[in-house]
Structure 1
Amino acid sequence: MKKNILSVVLLLLVATSFAQKNQRIAYIDMEYILQNIPEYIEAQNSLNAKVDKWKKKLDKEARNIEVLKTDLVNEKAILTKDLIEEREEDIKIKQESLRRLESLYFGPNGDMYNFRKQLIKPVQDQVYNSVQTIASRKKYDFVFDKSSDLVMLYSNKKHDISNLVVKMINIDQKKQAKKDKIAAKKELLKNGDLSEKQQQIAAKKAALKQKKLSEREERIKKIEEKRKARLKARAEKRKLLKEKRDALKKAQEEKKKQQEENK
């Protein structure tokens, strides 16, 4: 109760601060985002399957211990003191073993914690990175998590960027999947592990690429030949014009010389 009251007070103080400083805010619904990421659902289902398996094993061991206890109570009257103590010790050992196994599965650093970290943390990191990117691009001062302990008394849907986060993660995952696919194909080509059909497709792509390259080189060659032809024609035209000017000038000089001689 005290925790909720403190959260409400904190939210009111933050809201007042936003109103005074005119800061940009947004919020996300982490639960909604994670439920719309297929990788997270797959990881969660895998984790749940592991947890169910561990619980069944623990329940089986616990039932076995209860059977031993019941048998001891029913047979205590006909057992010697040494046998009773021996069975009690056996039950005690099995109980301690069960507690250790439970701690191994569900303890602070147990298998469940490590498995969850291994499967789910990468997805949560993706969400965090996407939120950071969106906040930086749109210049948000604060981004809250609606599903966290901070109680939101009211939230305007226009400030919800959850769908934007999901969209960005999906785009990033598609890009990564495309990169992985290309890398896998390159690796197969490198190792020569392609099937006959894949080799045919790869050969066709290589031939098409080479054809396009040859056509491009041919186009460049023709363009260069045309350029050289234009330059040659221009040079010949300039040469012809020069010869004409020189001939005209010579004719004028001879005419002038003849006129002077006639005087």
Structure 2
Amino acid sequence: MKKIFLSIVLLLSVSISWSQRSQIIAYIDMEYILENVPEYLEAQNTLDEKVVKWRQTLDKEARHIEVLKSDLANEKAILTKDLIEEKEEEIALKQDELRRLESLYFGPKGDMFLLRKQLVKPIQDQVYNAIQSISARKKYDFVFDKSSDLVMLYSNKKYDISDLVLGTIDRTRLVDQKNAKKEERKNAPNELTTQQKEAIAKKEAIVAKKLSEKEAKKKALENRRNELLKKREEKRELLRKKKEALKKKKEDQKKEQEKKDENNN
């Protein structure tokens, strides 16, 4: 219903404007354009490879948690209450870590969002710039996206400017490559300017900061895990000493009883 409503509103708007002057309308197929832009396909492949690796990491952690749960279920009958609580706490800690890692990868501002923005946005900008250039040159009043939510009940192929957009992107790419080579040859013998050095230093500082933050989080998690393991070991040692003391007490009582029996005989 929403799509139909938008289509009706659009048609009414165009019809009203048509009475004032002729409107020049064109459309594109964004999916078709992106599928034919090599940079987009390369960016998408890079993103897909990262997603596969992230999924593998999450699956590995999830399987490890399932193993811990299974081990606890199998050993529960022979474990003390304290040991059961420790293992349950360790599992809960692993589950929290898994949720945090999943959010880090696929959250609203996670690695996937940032990487997609970094890889895809420049390509989308190329497409929009090409559309604006063609629209200004051919004086289009409206350019619609055929692959969007807007319902196009009929579209004449002669108003499809998708190939024009691709041609503009290709020409822009060639020009940029030529200019880049000229600039590279021009600046090759020269040292980096102060501004370039500052920009490089700034990028390196940002990367170093991110690495430091990740390392700090990793270290904090490791410290927490070590603390948990230490507490568990202390409890086990305490339990062992209690068992040994109880065993020794029983042995002493047994020896005392044996002495009494010998005296009575």
TM-score (norm 1): 0.68
Specify the code of the residue in structure 2 equivalent to 1:9. I
1:17–1:51 distance in 2 versus 1, CA, 3 Å: farther
Q: CA deviation at 1:57?
A: 0.5
How far apart, CA to CA, are the structure 2 residues paired with 1:105 and 1:154? 41
What is the match of residue 168 of structure 1?
Answer: 168
Match of 1:50 in 2: 50
Contact 2:30 2:146 in 1 (8 A): yes
Q: CA deviation at 1:3?
A: 2.9
State whether structure 2 residue 187 is matched by structure 1 residue 184: no
Residue 19 (structure 1) shift = 4.6
* Residues 4, 151 of structure 2: 8 Å contact kept: no
Query: What one-letter code is carried by the residue in structure 1 that aligns with 2:12?
Result: L
Q: What is the CA–CA distance in structure 1 between the aligned matches of 2:6 and 2:65, rounded to whole Å?
A: 45
Aligned-residue RMSD, C-alpha: 1.6
Match of 2:104 in 1: 104
Alignment of 1:1-263 (within 5 A): 2-17=1-16, 19-21=18-20, 22-190=22-190
Whether the aligned pair in 2 keeps the contact of 1:31 and 1:147 (CA below 8 Å) is yes
Whole-angstrom distance in 1 between the partners of 2:101 and 2:62:
11
Shift of 1:146: 0.9
Within 2, Cα distance between the matches of 1:52 and 1:15? 46
Secondary structure of 2:27's match? strand
Measured in 2, the distance between the counterparts of 1:6 and 1:89 equals 54
> For the residues of structure 1 that align with 2:19 and 2:166, how far apart are their CA atoms?
31
Give the length in aligned residue pairs. Answer: 190
For 1:61 and 1:18, locate their aligned partners in 2 and report how far apart those are by CA, in whole Å: 60
Q: Is the 8 A contact 1:11 1:152 kept in 2?
A: no
| Letter matched to residue 4 of structure 1 | K
2-structure distance, mates of 1:72, 1:114:
39
Gaps of 5+ in 2: 192-265
How far apart, in 1, do the equivalents of 2:154 and 2:163 lie?
19
Q: Distance in 2 between matches of 1:28 and 1:69?
A: 53
Gaps (5+ residues) in structure 1? 192-263
Contact 1:11 1:151 in 2 (8 A): no
When structure 1 is superposed on structure 2, of 93-102 and 15-24 the one drifting more is 15-24
Deviations 1:64-115 (A, max 9, x none): 1111111111111111111111111111111111111111111111111110
Amino acid at match of 1:93: L
- Write the distance in 1 (CA, Å) between the matches of 2:41 and 2:92: 40
Change (3 A) 1:6 1:72: farther
For 1:107, the aligned partner's letter is G
Distance in structure 2 (CA, Å) of the matches to 1:13 and 1:95: 54
Contact 1:11–1:150 (8 Å) recurs in 2: no
Q: Percent identity?
A: 63
